[in-house]
Amino acid sequence: MRVGGVVRERLEAKTILVVDDEDGVRESVREILSDEGYRVLEASTGTVVPDLIRSERPRLVLLDIWMPEMDGIGLLREIKKLDPDTNVVMISGHGNIHTAVTATKYGAFDFIEKPLSLDGLLLTVRRALGESPTIAEKGPRAKTGKTKRRSSRAAATEVHVPALQRTLKKSVVISGHGLHSGIKTGLILHPLPPNSGILFSGISADATVPAHLDHVGSTGYATSLYGKGIVVGTVEHFLAVLHSYRISNLLVKVQGEIPILDGSALEFCHLIEEAGIQEQDKEWSEIALDRSYRLEIKGGESISAEPADVFSVRYMLNYPKPVGEQEYTYVFQGQESFKKEIAPARTFGFLRDIEKLEKLGLVNGGRLSNCILLDDEKVINTELRFPDEFARHKILDIVGDFYLFGRPVRCMVTARMTGHSDNIALLKEIKKGMRL
């Protein structure tokens, strides 16, 4: 019989080591976690941590990043060498997205800020231990099950396809600048369980906002999401990648604005591929349009969506020289088609508009390396990746905005000279018409 061994395994599964030189922090965390049924060990110095890892085998370490005797990042690396399966959550009162990115690169499961939020702490601990409920409960639940049609004549149709929900195999990070804010920012991507959805949060993850139409705030020059206590700007390029790679469950930690990177979505594709895609044991459904929806916008702009077997976008534009008329039709045939045809297309702007945008507090992070810049005669800072790169980039924006239902939509989108505000307006019409 292995009674003693079984008991020890159960104790280890519920054991959390709190490493912090502040007595008050350790006491508060111990009380919170003990009340939840966890076995809590404490250390006021990092020097004793390796011995505790060997003898007590905690499943989780809550580690202050600023330790008197040693650097928390160094201790993190030592812990991961001793026991790669021990999850480590870094804690800091002076953290920012770059500290969080560094910690994640060295193997930290997550990063949270002081003063600690009770909800944020417990949600992070439960995620780290693979327990439920998780942070995902704050987001909209993805729909699963067989094909069904609601009774209303204008109701939505869910198309059941043999597809499983997806998340990432591991956490990954990337750094950059926000296009409009100009701030140094970054992304930390964490896998989430089935039915979680795509959730954006700050560093501590005590407040989240779902990637959903109901949480769209501003749409001027970019799509932003607003939730209680959190704002996330310029989400469209990143969401286009999640849409195309069919990532359904993910926690995205970000400081204010998604980094613009090179102005395209290609680096986000590489980030998802670096993490690897994990299929999960729950199915999900696509949305199939029941009829055509169309918006006519003043000035000859228009956007429509009609029923189709696959998702596709046709975009037409007509700008002054040197852009001229461009048209491109994209038919989704899997992530590789997106990565090849649409993801490399970069954002663009006219030199004559820069002063106006700067007065609006926008494009503070604009660089010659992260957009296509045009004067009245030519592209002045780069070579185009496609002859019709401008039309393709507009399609990139639509692919991202159309993931704000939280599920893929089967339809044919046709747009002429439209932008984010028009995309969102059409989505709202579809939601109202189909009672989604």
The pLDDT of residue 353: 64
CA distance 240 to 401: 7
Last-in-domain residue among 269, 284, 299: 284
Q: Cβ distance 179 to 370 under 8 Å?
A: yes
- C-alpha count within 13 angstroms, C-beta hemisphere, residue 42: 15
Same domain for 203 and 243: yes
On whether residue 420 sits in a domain, the answer given is yes
> What pLDDT, on a 0 to 100 scale, did the predictor assign at position 368?
56
Which residues touch 286 (CB under 8 Å, ≥6 apart)?
Answer: 158, 159, 161, 163, 407, 408, 409, 410
The predicted model gives 418-423 an average pLDDT of 94
Task: State which residues form the domain around 161.
Answer: 154-284
Q: Is the pLDDT of residue 342 over 70?
A: yes
Tell me whether residue 138 is in a domain.
no
Span of 64-78, 279-293, 343-357 with lowest mean pLDDT: 343-357
Residue 97's CATH number: 3.40.50.2300
Whether 41 and 163 share a structural domain: no
Worst-scoring range by mean pLDDT, 104-108, 357-361, 402-406, 408-412? 357-361
> Tokens representing 370?
């992260």
How far apart CA 278 and CA 169 sit, in angstroms, is 5
Residue 8, pLDDT > 60, answer no
Using left for φ > 0, alpha for ψ between -120 and 50, and beta otherwise, residue 299 falls in left
**293 and 423 share one domain:** yes
Assess whether 302 and 229 both reside in one domain. Answer: no
Number of domains in the chain: 3
User: What does the alpha-carbon distance between residue 128 and residue 60 come to, in Å, rounded to a whole number?
Assistant: 7
In a domain, 24, yes or no: yes
Whether 115 and 188 map to the same domain: the answer is no
How far is the C-alpha of 379 from the C-alpha of 268, rounded, in Å? 25
One domain, residues 357 and 234: no
What is the percent of the chain with per-residue pLDDT over 90, rounded to a whole number? Answer: 56
* Whether 277 and 310 share a structural domain: no
pLDDT of 88 higher than 90 = yes
Residues 295 and 230 in one domain: no
Choose between 93 and 147: higher pLDDT: 93
Structure tokens at 236: 């469209």
Residue with the larger pLDDT of the pair 214 and 142: 214
Name the average pLDDT for the chain. 85
Q: In this predicted structure, what is the pLDDT of residue 150?
A: 36
Higher pLDDT, 221 or 211: 211
Question: What are the pLDDT digits (tens) for 174-189?
Answer: 887 655 455 677 889 9
Nearest to 140 by CA among 403, 409, 335: 403
More confident residue, 368 or 79: 79
Output the 3-class SS for the chain: CCHHHHHHHHHHHCEEEEECCCHHHHHHHHHHHHHCCCEEEEECCHHHHHHHHHHHCCCEEEEECECCCCEHHHHHHHHHHHCCCCEEEEEECCCCHHHHHHHHHCCCCEEEECCCCHHHHHHHHHHHCCCCCCHHHHCCCCCCCCCEECCCCCCCEEEEEEEEEEEECCCEEEEEEECCCCCEEEEEEEECCCCCCEEEECCCCCCEEECCHHHECCCCCCCCEEECCEEEECCHHHHHHHHHCCCCCEEEEECCECECCCCCCHHHHHHHHHHCEEEEEEEEEEEECCCCEEEEECCCEEEEEEECCCCEEEEEEEECCCCEEEEEEEECCCHHHHHHHCCCCCCEEEHHHHHHHHHCCCCCCCCCCCCEEECCCCECCCCCCCCCHHHHHHHHHHHHHCCCCCCCEEEEEEEECCCHHHHHHHHHHHHHHHCC
The amino acid present at 296, given as its one-letter code, is E
For 37-41, 273-277, 319-323, which range has the lowest pLDDT when averaged over its residues? Answer: 319-323
Is residue 378 predicted with pLDDT exceeding 80? yes
Please report, for the domain that includes residue 225, its CATH number.
Answer: 3.30.230.20
Distance of CA 95 to the CA centre of its chain: 20
Is residue 254 located within the same domain as residue 322? no
Total Cβ atoms within 10 A of residue 261: 23
In a domain, 141, yes or no: no
The pLDDT value recorded for residue 144 is 38
pLDDT tens per residue, range 269-309: 999 999 999 999 999 989 999 899 999 888 789 999 999 99
Q: Which CATH number goes with the domain that contains 392?
A: 3.30.1700.10
What's phi and psi for 221, nearest 5 deg? 70, -5
Instruction: Reply yes or no on whether the pLDDT at 338 is more than 90.
Output: yes
Per the CB < 8 A criterion, the answer to whether 89 and 61 are in contact is yes
The mean pLDDT value for 347-361 works out to 65
pLDDT at 396 over 70: yes
Q: Are 145 and 116 in contact (CB under 8 A)?
A: no
Examine the domain organization and report whether 93 and 230 are in the same domain: no
Whether 73 contacts 103, CB under 8 Å: yes
Same domain (yes/no): 293, 428: yes
**pLDDT value at residue 99:** 82
pLDDT value, residue 135? 44
What are the pLDDT digits (tens) for 127-141? 899 886 544 444 443
The span from the CA of 413 to the CA of 399, in Å, is 10
The total number of residues written for the chain in this structure = 436
Question: What is the rounded CA–CA span in Å between residue 313 and residue 215?
Answer: 24
The predicted model gives 134-153 an average pLDDT of: 39
pLDDT of residue 7: 43
With respect to residue 137, please indicate whether it lies within any of the assigned structural domains. Answer: no
Known catalytic membership, residue 98: no
| Boundary (domain end) residue, out of 284, 300, 315 | 284
- Single residue among 242, 267, 284 that ends a domain in this structure: 284
Whether 197 maps to a domain, the answer reads yes
- Residue 80, domain member (yes or no): yes
Asked if 218 and 330 sit in the same domain, the reply is no
* β-strand partners of 103: none
For residue 186, the model assigns a pLDDT of 83
Give the least confident one: 7-11, 64-68, 341-345, 414-418.
Answer: 7-11
- DSSP bridge partners of 106: none
CB 211 within 8 A of CB 235: yes
Say if 142 falls within a structural domain: no
pLDDT tens-place string over residues 220-276: 778 999 998 789 999 999 999 999 999 999 999 998 889 989 999 999 999 999 999
Q: Answer yes or no: are the C-beta atoms of 8 and 56 closer than 8 Å.
A: no
